[in-house]
Structure 1
Amino acid sequence: MSDMYFGIERTSDKVEQDESEFYPDNYDRREIMNLKIYCDQQEKGCGWKGELKDRDTHNQTCGFVEETCKNGCGEILMRKDMENHMQENCNNRNVDCDYCKTIVTFKFLEDHFGQCEMYPVECEYCEEKVPRKEVNQHVSLEGTCPGCPLECQFSEAGCPFIGTKRELTMHLQNDFIFHLSRMMDQQSNSKALLVATRVSLAKRECELENLKSFITKEIGKPVSQSDICVFEWNITNWSEKTRKSLVYPNWCIVSEPFYSGPQGYCLCLKLYPGGRRFHRESHVSIDVWVSKGNYDDKLPIDYQQHCKFSFTLIDQQLDAKNVVLRREKTLKFTPERTCEAIDDFLSHETMKSRSYLRNNELFLQFCLQLNMP
């Protein structure tokens, strides 16, 4: 069914037409895009008014559009306020420390002040503000602090004076004779100490000779100096170490490594102040360990021969005459790195009965007799 309408043949409404037969109405589009509009951010204060076709371009630069801070602080602000925020108010902005000129993130600035070398801190003696790194110099003898207490330069000689720099100057001027006498006393004490040291060395040499004689008698053959390994162990702060050992069952004191002789086996001692195993909390236990050494490749791989060793605890009483505690045992060297233990080395009661412990320290001597094949 068709008819003519204004000179154009009219087809039935049900006939589909190809989309290519339609053309955009550019005139209407131009009319629409030329319409005058206001900015989307008008309610926030933007006064821009322009044609619709320019809206996207304006939105890219509109100062009233909200954005998240580019420094990552989480603040949301209008674009026009962003630069000032990032430079002046943002917690994540970088700033220079006023004192050391280091660049620091603003939110960490207070933490930085707590360790800044140039941050001014108040001197506890004169209340002057001093850069942190110069505090020690400020309160020293050569410093400028007028109120810090200073020791007399002759304190090591026994002078007890402590006073301000001004008082110290007067003290040095007025007590010259006193200081001279203290120095002379110190020199006399040093000589006495030197003599005592020489006597002690002579005593040690005598003890070593006696020990050599004892070993010769026991094993039936002469021994040379190289056959004997002697290690002396000075253990300090005994009370604190005993407390730890009683709290922690496996806690022990370990000696520095030492060798059984020139190019010999490497040994170390382990001492348990609180005891171990069946003698826990009643005795002092001690072990001797054979560990990896620098000369193992030159030593017998499987040295089964037993070597006698002893532990000697020295009585520190001034008038004691050869009062010692000696415990002996045997040791063999094997590839398994052996350990020999004396769990009941010294009872806590025995320690209290003698002066093995003096000034919170004790002296232990380890002696090993080597019978090399």
Structure 2
Amino acid sequence: MDNDFMGRPSTRAESRMFTPQGMDGGILSDKEDMQYIFCSPLDKIYECPVCSNVLRYPVLFEECGHRCCASCLPELLRIAPKCPVDGKIIDREREVSVDRLFQQELDALEVKCCYVNRGCTWFGELKDLEMHLEDCRYTPMKCPRNCGIELEKSQLRRHLQEECQKRGIRCDFCHIPITQEEERSHLEVCGKFLLPCPNGCKKGDIPREEMEFHLEEKCPQQEIPCPFANAGCDFMSKRKNLHKHIKEDPISHLGMACDTIIAHGKELDNNMKQLAMHTNKIADLERTVDTLEKLYGCQLVWRIEKWEDKMSEAKLGRKPTIFSPPFLTTRHGYRMAMSLCPYGDGRDLKSYLQNIKTLKDSFGQPSTPVYNPEQVSKCLKEKL
């Protein structure tokens, strides 16, 4: 058909499919790209004058008796509400209706399977085609694993089980789950994959993860330095020849070992001296930290050891007063110390235990207070 029903050059020629050689019926495609291969040549009354495909859900123009697809009607009315066959005006409200009887006539037309060229021999009524296609073993489909292969439904099971590059398998060596397409790259890094020794020793196949240990510790063909290399021997040989090398010259190797032991002994002595020095420094730092903690604490805990001895010295007048460790009232406050006269002092001598808060100067010596003393709470406890 060179012109459409409205006299314009046809732009839908590609939508019309003709009967292949050797086939009796006609082939039409609907708007969903489903092929209809009719067993007999298709009459023009079954074609939509708008889309040139087989009518789908036909609507009837009451005025002229022509029809079009229900899906083609809105576009037809939007451009020009005229019949595309005879040009008569279409009144959508009164002159357009769904033609159910004609749809039944369409559904009764005999068609062949869309995949007859693939080998399907099914034929039946048009209304049954869609149901047949759901089960047709010749239906082309893409692999559900997205491997990119398109094949017939009948071949899908074998493809998924034996051919699909995305099918799940297990590595023959480490047995972890992988896909078929990952197998090659996985085997290049698989720790259990068996490899021959690169030195050609008689060990046989060795797991990749054990190869480094084999070469460093076991392989008789691996070239390694003499065990006395750290002592000064620069001999290199295959592992199997090292025993012979040491056996041929044991005296020089023994001398190297002795020199190394002596050098290590000197180094050890030096390290011990350094360790002792650092130990003393750490002890000094610990004492400094302990002093600072007491100095900056908001509460002084003064524990007096050997009280009987200190009381005896006070009674004899040798050391009537003892002082606590210094402390600060605040971080930037006064530097204080507590003084204690175990046997009393002045008029309280031999009568009362005297406890006094004392201001300290920068050299740690008691000085005369030049400030109004802050309130201090004192608590004396006998050691249990």
**Normalised by the shorter chain, which TM-score bucket?**
0.3 to 0.5
Structure of higher RCO (CA pairs closer than 8 Å, 6+ residues apart): 1
Q: TM-score w.r.t. structure 2 length?
A: 0.42
Q: TM-score w.r.t. structure 1 length?
A: 0.43
Instruction: Mark the structure with the bigger radius of gyration.
Output: 2
